[in-house]
Amino acid sequence: MSHHQQFYINGQWVAPKGDQQLDVINPATEEAVASIALGTKEDVDAAVAAARAAFPSYANTTREERIALLERVIEVFKKRMGDVAEAISLEMGAPTKLAQTAQAPSGLSHFMTALEALKHFEFEEEIGTTLVVKEPIGVCGLITPWNWPMNQLTCKIAPALATGCTMVLKPSEVAPLSALILAEILDEAGVPAGVFNLVNGDGPTVGAAMSAHPDIDMMSFTGSTAAGRQVMTNGAQTIKRVALELGGKSANILLDDVNFEKMVAHGVMSCMNNTGQSCNAPTRMLVPNSRMDDVAAIAQAAAAKVKTGDPKAADTVMGPVVSKAQWTKIQDLISAGIEEGAKVAAGGPGRPEGLDKGYYVKPTVFTHVTNDMTIAREEIFGPVLSIIGYEDEEDAVRIANDTRYGLSGYVSSGDLDRARNVARRIRTGMVHLNGAPLDPKAPFGGYKESGIGREWGHYGFDDFLEVKSIYGYTAKA
């Protein structure tokens, strides 16, 4: 049975309070593939009430009970992996291969990582005669984006379940289908009624109702910096905790001793992965000024290998961007780059040749970019790479840090110690050395306007926990 027209509240699929609907558009075809119900403040109130009622009981479950629950979730998730991948490809245009090998498995990874962290997490600590206890914070509001839908859903839901919290989820209304499947997974796994609740809707209605709700104790939001600022403003009215994972404009520093053929091509492909729709994408490549022309040629050749087209095709590397609005924004920014004097080494405005339908963007590389240009400062969230020249190592670090964002960074060098030293000077929450991949056990999050708090692994538990000191707990009579 399809649950597109329903919400999951208090362990049941229920009809919405209102009658507003929204089409889910397949960005590869520009055609509707489903229609979902949009929630109201009344739907949020019902979901929050269910989560509040379920909290005392679930907060008092044992570690062993929550371990058993996560194990059941993992087993059901494995059975539905193919359904999750198919939904993600349909709703946001991810190539089938990417959906099957990265997008869907990321959800399983977060549940498995949370399970292992829960087995060893220290919820209590003795300091002198004081017992310090970490307790579940309460009812959590979760708002997630469309670009890595299952990844963002599960890196919030898994630690909430592990720490004993209850929750209300608003997935992106642009890509809600995979979230509905996840609700089915949690239901089949036996998550107690009221612990997990889902209400579809838009940010100004459902999102705002959640972030301002007096019975929600904590908001965890992933999305744009502008929207995150609004969540924080709304949450301030009730002094609730707010965790934010926001935008980025990450610098990829190639020091002068790297293998440029290898690392420039790697940087191009990393930027184009997921059609450039990743907050931590290496969208600013920093190279020595003396190597700019060489780098331009290598980047042009690398971009030419990015096969753009039908997500279902086996050889497709890059699918469409998620929506018409996103496509238009990217086109405007590409035009700004040209107008401000950057050189187009690959791609440019318009759709790729032979694709007259679908929100496809050419894999675009700009060279001779300066860090004051719009394309170097704004998060484009599309397959657009800006290559910026630097004079020396000090200049590279200065340019990398000259941004309002601070999510991720990338440093490559033939000398690992040199790369390590530069990494320590980059003001970001994460730095990749010589192409190292993400680690699901390590914290994910950023400095400055890239967010507050950390997700993933045992670090992801902290935002869902309150800390209580019980003085005299171990004192002798």
Beta-carbon contacts of 356 under 8 Å, excluding residues fewer than 6 positions away, are: none
- 216, 166 Cβ separation under 8 angstroms: no
With tokens 């040199």, the residue in question is 418
The Cα 442–Cα 432 span in angstroms is 12
CA atoms of 116 and 118, how far apart (whole Å):
5
DSSP 201-213: --IIIIIHHHHT-
CA distances from residue 324 to 31, 328, 360 in whole angstroms, order as listed: 11, 6, 10
245 is catalytic: yes
C-alpha triplet 449, 450, 451: angle, nearest 5°: 90
Selected catalytic residue, list 173, 245, 379, 449: 245
Contact 252/410 with Cβ under 8 angstroms?
A: yes
Beta strand 139-143 with 166-170 is parallel
Residues 6+ apart with CB under 8 A from 285: 251, 252, 254, 264, 267, 271, 295, 299, 385, 386, 387, 388
Distance CA 390, CA 293 (A): 13
Q: In whole angstroms, what is the distance from residue 77 CA to residue 456 CA?
A: 18
Task: Compute how many other C-beta atoms are within 10 angstroms of the C-beta atom of residue 269.
Answer: 17
Q: Which of 450, 417, 128 is nearest to 281 (CA)?
A: 450
Instruction: Identify which of 281, 274, 278, 106 has the alpha carbon closest to the alpha carbon of residue 178.
Output: 106
| H helix and E strand count, the chain | 15, 22
Burial of 15 (0-12, 13-18, 19+ CB in 10 A): exposed
Q: DSSP per residue over 22-65, as a string?
A: EEEEETTTTEEEEEEE---HHHHHHHHHHHHHHHHHHHT--HHH
Cα–Cα–Cα angle for 440, 245, 43, rounded to 5 degrees: 110
Both structure tokens of 125: 């600590």
Token couple for 389: 């020249």
Nearest to 368 by CA among 388, 383, 348: 388
DSSP 225-249: HHHHHHHHHHHHTTT-EEEEE----
The residues, ordered by sequence, that sit 6+ positions from 396 with a Cβ below 8 Å of its Cβ are: 253, 255, 286, 390, 422
Report, as residue numbers or ranges, the catalytic residues: 245
